[in-house]
Amino acid sequence: MNAPWNTLETHLLFDYYGALLTERQQKVLAMRLFDDLSLTEVAQELEITRQAVHDLFHRTVEQLKDYEQKLGLIAADRRRKKILDELIERLRKEFSVTEEILEALRDVMQG
């Protein structure tokens, strides 16, 4: 059995991979995540059953997790951020680089 969905994780997955979903999948996730609608409210809005919303939502979350498992974009960004943070800390300690320069470096590295 799959673990219950995590709102923060699902938001992040949607940010990275939402464009790969169908329009209907995007709509259901947006209504649940961003509009904070219940399954019943989404079902009424889309004129489908609550069970259909539940199934579509959970299948879509699993699909997003599968994208991350296969593509690893979130994990790669987390690794880059960790390396950048470590580099900035070393620059601060070993070379007394100013905060202004460190912020400029962060901006460049994060795009």
Question: Residue 25: its pLDDT value, please?
Answer: 98
- What band does 111 get if pLDDT is binned at 50, 70 and 90? low
1 in a structural domain: no
Note whether 58 and 82 are same-domain residues: no
| pTM (predicted TM-score) | 0.80
2 in a structural domain: no
Note whether 14 and 50 are same-domain residues: yes
Amino acid at 81: K
Note whether 65 and 89 are same-domain residues: no
Q: Which domain holds residue 100?
A: 75-110
**Count of other CB atoms within 10 angstroms of residue 91:** 15
Which one is predicted more confidently, 53 or 106?
53
Note whether 65 and 17 are same-domain residues: yes
Give the pLDDT mean for 26-30: 97
Tracing tokens 């900035």 back to the chain, one arrives at 88
- On the 0-12 / 13-18 / 19+ scale of CB atoms within 10 A, 13 is buried
Question: Residue 40: its pLDDT value, please?
Answer: 97
Note whether 46 and 21 are same-domain residues: yes
